Amino acid sequence: MAHHEVKLDVYNYLFSPNLKPCVTVNIGDTVTLHTDDAFESRITSEDTSPKAAVRNAKFLNPQAGPVYINGAEPGDTLVVHFESIEFTRDWAVSCIMEYFGGLQSNSITKTLQKPLDEKVYMWKTKDNGKTWRCEKIGVTIPANAFCGTMATAPDTESIQALTPGPFGGNMDCPDVCPGNKIYLPVHNPGALFYVGDCHAAQGQGELCGVALEVSAKITVSFDVIKNKAIKWPRIESKERIMSVGSAKPMEDAARIAYADLIEWMVRDYGYDSYDAYQLLTQVGGLYVANMVDTTYSLCASIDKKYLERT
Amino acid sequence: MAHHEVKLDVYNYLFSPNLKPCVTVNIGDTVTLHTDDAFESRITSEDTSPKAAVRNAKFLNPQAGPVYINGAEPGDTLVVHFESIEFTRDWAVSCIMEYFGGLQSNSITKTLQKPLDEKVYMWKTKDNGKTWRCEKIGVTIPANAFCGTMATAPDTESIQALTPGPFGGNMDCPDVCPGNKIYLPVHNPGALFYVGDCHAAQGQGELCGVALEVSAKITVSFDVIKNKAIKWPRIESKERIMSVGSAKPMEDAARIAYADLIEWMVRDYGYDSYDAYQLLTQVGGLYVANMVDTTYSLCASIDKKYLERT
Amino acid sequence: MAHHEVKLDVYNYLFSPNLKPCVTVNIGDTVTLHTDDAFESRITSEDTSPKAAVRNAKFLNPQAGPVYINGAEPGDTLVVHFESIEFTRDWAVSCIMEYFGGLQSNSITKTLQKPLDEKVYMWKTKDNGKTWRCEKIGVTIPANAFCGTMATAPDTESIQALTPGPFGGNMDCPDVCPGNKIYLPVHNPGALFYVGDCHAAQGQGELCGVALEVSAKITVSFDVIKNKAIKWPRIESKERIMSVGSAKPMEDAARIAYADLIEWMVRDYGYDSYDAYQLLTQVGGLYVANMVDTTYSLCASIDKKYLERT
Amino acid sequence: MAHHEVKLDVYNYLFSPNLKPCVTVNIGDTVTLHTDDAFESRITSEDTSPKAAVRNAKFLNPQAGPVYINGAEPGDTLVVHFESIEFTRDWAVSCIMEYFGGLQSNSITKTLQKPLDEKVYMWKTKDNGKTWRCEKIGVTIPANAFCGTMATAPDTESIQALTPGPFGGNMDCPDVCPGNKIYLPVHNPGALFYVGDCHAAQGQGELCGVALEVSAKITVSFDVIKNKAIKWPRIESKERIMSVGSAKPMEDAARIAYADLIEWMVRDYGYDSYDAYQLLTQVGGLYVANMVDTTYSLCASIDKKYLERT
């Protein structure tokens, strides 16, 4: 069981089957990946203009990886044991950007209106990341650290790192957090695992489109479930199993998430599909992870205690 | 402070400004309204065909009311103190219906496919409604009692009781529950309050479209906030304030819910709208109440502890 | 075969089963109904502020009717022979309004952005309505006169006249025009026919939300198809049959329109449903009637020459 | 002015900046590209099961290209002069596939229902492609030949050929046809042009998802507009200019298409944006090109005669 530590000189901006692995690991090894924030640390103060800061950035949302996991083959499922997040600085940044976010028109939901004004919010921690304070607003909030982005490489496509999808990606789902297992489909030898976009905190929906963006060290280890394919990302916490659907319109993300959870209950827990459909109607959870990215991500879940029937 | 008890011989099926009040109450009075389940108790066993059962029902989702609240005038806000739900039977019913529900095409999201098979699920309680068991599945779940439907009369329209909207209505939002305050816009003298569709339990999204439908006695009392209009239903629990948006596609319901919550934070808690937008990005909650009705309902929320700035 | 002429003192603003008929007619009678424009002639110059003009209007989109058609009963289909439109003035008005229109956020697709500036466009005719000129833009366009709104009363609901739906209503569909037959479902004795919102011209989608709004005299006559119910509005021109679906998101309107057209081909033209589905794939028409109202309306069509098989 | 003819041994299935050009051409050269149908000729009779036929196909929708156009640089606009389509066989195929098409649930708009039955429709021509007959239905229709797919390579992503987007792609837009000019954004040196998916005919929306799929020879030539970037595909016919937006939900495709057309009118025809918005409201065209692909494509247009003001 080796430990690997990876700090890239140049990040990647695509989820792609064609990028060269930055490290090769065995099942059970731990890997610590250094990640930068979604702006690659270009926004450093409340005086920064986000538009100006990213003008010369061809890409946003830098990704560490790909990690090549020995033994992972197409048709398997990759299990990511998310061990820990360690923030590597004492500030996080959020901002209102032009033509971006849940309550603003954008290049797709297009209007002729002027954009919102830009505004940067700096959040600082004095307790090693346990709580974060925004002086401008006058609030202190607890950390809720997770990775906005986690993916395996798609089958053949190379997709920009701002996109969520069947491969995982930019789901901005707070349950992609330390302590949980994340299941991702394997489409390529070695799975080709990507991670980035650490958030010190984020609410459901990531309303303005920018969480508490922070640089961090992410530690994970991997398992592989052989010859068992999944179609969409799944998450398991101590108490719940969850499926994440990403699509537009948002109701399609909801349909995907719940339908995948039914499939999980049928295949792994012996449920009849109608019974699973019925039970999720009465005890299922369904929250919005992101309402701001290129597709919306919804997380459907059920408490594990209902998976045993009596 | 009087107490009123109302048991209608004939329920209503519209949220309408034109229906005759069944009772007139003063602010502070308590009212207990008997409600029937959404099928008006037409489905009584697992052998019942839902389609056959409702064939001769011109309408579904019977409503108690309207209650006329003295002192409520257009432009006010009605505050409903939801005191209690008392189930009036020991069984609840859910079912898979043809061309209805979150994972089935319907008359609007229309396909040429055959419908799902009908299937009735009976849920029973032996502890006065604290827990409910479905023998067919083999699970027991705790009660999570609330009213799927609560409304004031719209301004001029008469809307069928299956619809959620700015007036409240069939939101199927589990936070419309005892212990919480529900705020509704007042468009007519007396507000004209409707309630029905009691659910012994329901998950987020009400996936198959039918929760644990049960008959019950609903006890509420009212306050009126004079000369203060709201546009969408709001909810206040001990710990959170919430706004419920209902629209299609689902992202519009999300936009409405969060935008209304911002408006609330600005008007009542002195927030700058950008700061509220930022803060909800980091700590807001957003879950799907219903993904099955004529419009979808999403509930956005924030913990009250963040409303005080320091 | 009598002729009736109706000029209301007070218009209606709801499609409702509860309003008193303004005239009762027999099948084959002609009726001329005077209609006012959607703003009830409140915007009369390019200096008018639309917002100020409608501030004291509780309602928009005044409707003539309801017309009671003797012999029409629930379960029948009403056939409207749209005889003619005669403009009753030489100017039409359009405008950009705040928070309304296809390229602006609104109360449902809600953003925090400022609205577009208001701007009124006057269009004038010097040839009795054959062509219309907007001096401000410097263009002259041909008339394309039709009624934005045509409906029968819904079953039990009373719906504001700005809404399109299964009952017809505010479809803003340019094929609801003289020379065509419009088929509407009958839910009430006498059908209770409403009409209004005459447009001198309008493109597909009614992009900014306001066509060339004009007052007019509308002449129609009626037939009734006994014991034959339809679910959505249908249109027949000399060359095509068409179905109009109204829903959100827009793809649902498309699904409804094409599915209804298939149903029509199956029931009236002996098509197998798969064959109709296949044929519409290759020769069907599908345009956007409105992308601005409370639901979107899409018009699906097929050339009549394909209805005969050889 | 050279002529090139290209017949690939192996087609491509991605719109990618990374694929090796199959031919390099100069501005003004003509190129004839052989294309296969979307199923790569795997479905050859009404007895073929589409599902079985494509089971071993890793990809669908084979593309000819990329063509490298000398002189095209990022930031330019590529002008495709679409000279001709010549069918290379006398039959075309369409079919109903499982979980695909406008009136069926699919992997995104997910339901628990069974799929439609598979059904293959063969269409044959006896007049060199002028008309096509489906004996199974008993109809003959005129040809309406166009390319379902035409694209330049995206900036950095590699996108599967079934997808429409800003780069063009699988728009299934009948106006991408001989006689018209298609404008595409250039993101890479040489533009990297792809074409495929020839349709002998198709209605608006491509309802069941499969048009009259046929193999063909496509002849095009190219121009480049230097230093003028466009964001979405545009089309110019003798009479109209058009913009094609592709997105979900469908209303976003409509917004994109009309907003891009306004931008075109402003930049190239001196329109004020409000005036363009107003004029398109009155004379704009908006039809559905596809309602079946991974995003929906809508085509907005205006008659060129309105571009000159007087």
* Domain-embedded: residue C244: no
Bridge partners of D219, per DSSP, are D32, D84
CB B276 within 8 A of CB B264: no
Q: Cα dihedral sign for D120, D126, D130, D133?
A: negative
Kind and range of the H or E element at B261?
Answer: helix B250-269
The pLDDT profile of chain D, 310 residues, written as one tens digit per residue, is 899 999 999 999 999 999 999 999 999 999 999 999 999 999 999 999 999 998 888 789 999 999 999 999 999 999 999 999 999 999 999 999 999 999 999 999 999 999 999 999 999 999 999 999 999 999 999 999 999 999 999 999 999 999 999 999 999 999 999 999 999 999 999 999 999 999 999 999 999 999 999 999 999 999 999 999 999 999 999 999 999 999 999 999 999 999 999 999 999 999 999 999 999 999 999 999 999 999 999 999 999 999 999 8
Given a cut of 80, is residue C118 above it in pLDDT?
Answer: yes
Give helix A250-269 / helix B250-269 axis angle, nearest 10°: 110
Both tokens of residue A250? 């948002």
Residue C278: per-residue pLDDT: 98
Confidence of residue C58 (pLDDT cuts 50, 70, 90): confident
Q: Which is it for strands B3-6 and B30-35: parallel, antiparallel or unpaired?
A: parallel
- Per CB-CB distance under 8 Å, the chain D contacts of B111 are 103-105, 111, 113
Give burial (CB, 10 Å; 0-12/13-18/19+) of D131: middle
Q: What is the pLDDT of residues C186-222, one digit of tens each?
A: 999 999 999 999 999 999 999 999 999 999 999 999 9
pLDDT of residue A127: 97
What sign results for the dihedral spanned by CA atoms C304, C306, C307, C308?
Answer: positive
Order of all β-strands in the sheet with D131-134: D91-96, D119-124, D131-134, D139-142
Chain B partners within 8 Å of A210 (Cβ) = 281
- Which CATH number does the domain housing residue B186 bear? 2.60.120.580
Q: Is the dihedral of CA B104, B110, B111, B113 positive or negative?
A: positive
Q: Which chains touch B (3+ CB pairs under 8 A)? A: A, C, D
Q: Which of C136, C274, C283 sits opposite D119 (nearest CB)?
A: C274
Q: Output b/e per residue, A168-199; b: 16+ Cβ within 10 A.
A: bbbbbbbbbbbebebbbbbbbbbbbbbbbbbb
Query: Residue D184's pLDDT is what?
Result: 98
Which residues contact residue B113 at a Cβ distance below 8 angstroms, ignoring those fewer than 6 apart? B105, D104, D105, D111, D113, D114, D115, D116
Q: Searching chain B, which residue's CA lies closest to the CA of residue A262?
A: B103
**Chain C, window 160-219: residues with a beta carbon less than 8 angstroms from a chain D beta carbon:** 201-212
- Mean pLDDT value of segment A210-232: 98
| DSSP symbol at C43 | -
Check pLDDT > 80 for residue A224: yes
pLDDT at C1 (0 to 100): 82
Measure Cα distances from C91 to C54, D25, D306 in Å.
19, 55, 20
Give the closest of B104, B113, B249 to D104, CB-based: B113
pLDDT tens, residue by residue, B188-222: 999 999 999 999 999 999 999 999 999 999 999 99
Of A179, A185, A197, A204, the closest CA to residue A298 belongs to A204
Q: What is the DSSP string of A144-162?
A: --EEEEEEE--SS-BEETT
* Interchain contact, C104 vs A113, CB within 8 Å: yes
Residue C107 class from Cβ within 10 Å (0-12 exposed, 13-18 middle, 19+ buried)?
Answer: middle
pLDDT of residue A3: 97
Domain assignment of residue D173, yes or no: yes
Q: Which residue of A has its CA nearest to C99?
A: A113
- Confidence band, pLDDT 50/70/90 cuts, at residue A58: confident
Cα atoms found within 13 Å of the Cα of residue B285, Cβ hemisphere only: 19
Q: Are A38 and A61 in contact (CB under 8 A)?
A: yes
C36 domain residue, yes or no = yes
Shortest Cα distance, chain D CAs vs residue B37, angstroms: 26
Q: For residue B197, is it within any domain?
A: yes
3-class secondary structure, D15: strand
ipTM above 0.95, yes or no: yes
pLDDT band of B161, cuts 50, 70, 90: very high
Residues found in chain D? 310
Q: Chain C closest CA to A222's CA: distance in Å?
A: 41
- pLDDT recorded at residue D243: 98
Among D104, D111, D112, the residue with its CB nearest the CB of B112 is D104
Distance from CA of B253 to the nearest CA of C (A): 7
pLDDT digit string (tens) for B77-86? 999 999 999 9
Distance between CA atoms of residues A118 and A105, nearest Å: 14
pLDDT at D226: 98
| Interface contact A108, partner C, CB < 8 A | no
The alpha carbon of residue B101 is apart from the nearest alpha carbon of chain D, in Å, by 9
Is pLDDT at C151 greater than 90 in this prediction? yes
Helical (H) or strand (E) element with B158? none
Q: Is D284 on the interface with C (CB under 8 A)?
A: yes
- How far is the alpha carbon of C96 from chain A, nearest alpha carbon, in Å? 11
- Once rounded to an integer, what is the mean pLDDT over residues A40-66? 91
Residue-wise pLDDT for A75-113, tens only, equals 999 999 999 999 999 999 999 999 999 999 999 999 999
Specify if D15 maps to a domain: yes
Q: State the CB neighbour count (10 A cutoff) for residue A14.
A: 22
Domain span at residue B79 reads 3-231
DSSP letter string, D91-127: EEEEEE-TT-STTS--SSS--SSPPPPPEEEEEE-SS
Structural domain total, chain D: 1
Instruction: Report chain D residues whose CB lies below 8 A from the CB of B103.
Output: 110-112
pLDDT tens per residue, range B53-90: 988 887 899 999 999 999 999 999 999 999 999 999 99
Interface test with chain C among A96, A97, A104, A113, by most C beta carbons within 10 Å: A113
Give the lowest-confidence range in B100-114, C45-59, C165-179. Answer: C45-59
Residue B45: per-residue pLDDT: 94
Residue B110: closest CA among C85, C277, D214, D118? C277
Of B59, B108, B112, the CB nearest to C247: B108
pLDDT of residue C310: 87
pLDDT at res. A182? 98
Question: Is residue D270 assigned to a domain?
Answer: no
Stretch 289-308 of chain B: residues touching chain A, C-beta under 8 Å: 291, 296, 298, 300, 306
CB spacing of D114 vs B115 below 8 angstroms: no
The DSSP call for residue B305 is: G
- Asked if A104 lies within 8 A of C113 by C-beta distance, the reply is yes
Residue A55 banded pLDDT, cuts 50, 70, 90: confident
User: In this predicted model, what pLDDT tens digit does every residue of C67-92 receive, in sequence order?
Assistant: 999 999 999 999 999 999 999 999 99
The answer to whether the CB atoms of C112 and A105 lie below 8 A apart is: no
CA distances to B5, B94, B182, D60, D217 from B36, in Å: 15, 14, 21, 54, 67
Mean pLDDT taken over chain B: 97
| For testing contact with chain A, the best of D63, D157, D251, D280 (most A CBs within 10 A) | D157
Task: Mark out the alpha helices in D27-154 (DSSP H runs).
Answer: 50-54
Give the integer Cα–Cα distance in Å for A68 and A56: 31
CB contact under 8 A, B138 and A205: no
Q: Residue B43 above 90 pLDDT?
A: yes
- How many inter-chain contacts (C to D, CB under 8 Å) are there? 182
* Geometric angle at alpha carbon B13, from B7 and B17, rounded to 5°: 95
Chain D contact probe: residue of A13, A58, A110 with most D CBs at under 10 A: A110
C249 domain-assigned: no
Which residue type is seen at D45? Answer: S
* A210 domain residue, yes or no: yes
pTM of the shown model: 0.98
